[in-house]
Amino acid sequence: MPEIGKPHLRPDWLTVAAVAVVANASASLIHEGLGHGGACLLLGGKPLLLTSMQFQGDKQMLSSAAVRAISAAGSIANVAAAMATITFLRRSQAAPQAGWFFLWLFATVNLLLAAGYPLYSGLGNIGDWAAVVAGFEPAWLWRILLIVIGAGAYWFAARWAMHCLGQHLSALPPGRVAEANRFTLVAFAFGGLLSVAAGFLDPGGAMVVVISGAAASLGGASALAWGPQLLHDPSLGIPTGAPLQVTRQWWWIAVAAVVAIAFVFLLGPGISFRAAG
């Protein structure tokens, strides 16, 4: 059992930020590249452009069902990545340090993105899942279904994330809310900053920054900002393991610097595949 209430080191914010950069960049690449891009290739489409926030492909020769599948594939890839990571997280016997925090955050961000897209598409009638249900009648019913499914999945994802994190916090309520915030707020801020910075270089312009950078990334990951409040519930995330401790680790910081540069300056403006065809 963890030593609950025992004073412990505060997490090193720079290492937490570094882990957040790697986790968020990886989740975005899985959504756009592996999800949308992979589905496009598998279904016979031609990739045209991959950026940090969007994938474009030539789908003129594809059926409407294939086009819908490509639109849905980003969220599906996020779910698959989250499930695989959760399985690994449950089997891990290592002490909860920066590596554990990365697995937890990577799974959390993937789950939140996957759940947030249907909710966002239902509310705004834009984005991936608006394309999936485009043309379905009655349109209002499909939008309501997206909102209900998205909101329910998002709430479940947020509670799972806080339950899992709460199991490795050392403070007693209400102190564990503040302890959780030291991890999640830094991760939320730097993940959003990374996404918006890359978005400003996206060839899609300001609209892509608004839709994908601000709404999908900041809005989609918003549970990292408000989720720790759920830990006021003493039955959620009852400590069962060693307390999470993230100390200064320069190799994480170095990796994050390389990832951030590549994500912003390479994937930000995008990789074009047009010349290859």
pLDDT of residue 4: 46
Sign of the torsion angle spanned by Cα atoms 77, 80, 82, 85? negative
Q: Is 98 within a domain?
A: yes
Q: Is 6 within a domain?
A: no
**Domain boundaries, position 71:** 13-272
Sign of the torsion angle spanned by Cα atoms 108, 109, 114, 120? positive
What is the full per-residue pLDDT of the chain (277 aa) written as tens digits? 444 444 456 899 999 999 999 999 999 999 999 999 999 999 999 999 999 888 999 988 899 999 999 999 999 999 999 999 999 998 887 779 999 999 999 999 999 999 999 998 999 888 899 999 999 999 999 999 999 999 999 999 999 999 999 999 987 777 899 999 999 999 999 999 998 888 888 887 766 666 665 666 677 899 999 999 999 998 998 888 789 999 999 999 999 999 999 999 999 999 998 754 4
Contact by Cβ (8 Å): 25, 106: no
pLDDT of residue 241: 77
pLDDT of residue 8: 55
Q: Can you list the pairs that 200-209 forms with residues at least 24 positions away whose Cβ atoms lie under 8 Å?
A: 200/268, 201/264, 201/265, 201/268, 201/269, 202/51, 202/52, 202/53, 202/54, 202/268, 202/269, 202/270, 203/49, 203/51, 203/269, 203/270, 204/51, 204/53, 204/54, 208/51, 208/53, 208/54, 209/53
Count of H helices and E strands in the chain? 10, 3
pTM: 0.92
**How many folded domains does the chain comprise?**
1
Dihedral angle, C-alpha 170, 163, 214, 13, nearest 10 °: 20
Q: Is 2 within a domain?
A: no
Q: Is 32 within a domain?
A: yes
Q: Is 78 within a domain?
A: yes
Q: Is 4 within a domain?
A: no
Burial category of 222 from C-beta neighbours within 10 Å (exposed 0-12, middle 13-18, buried 19 and up): middle
DSSP reduced 3-state for 234: coil
pLDDT of residue 212: 60
Q: Is 117 within a domain?
A: yes
Q: Is 88 within a domain?
A: yes
pLDDT of residue 171: 72
pLDDT of residue 21: 97
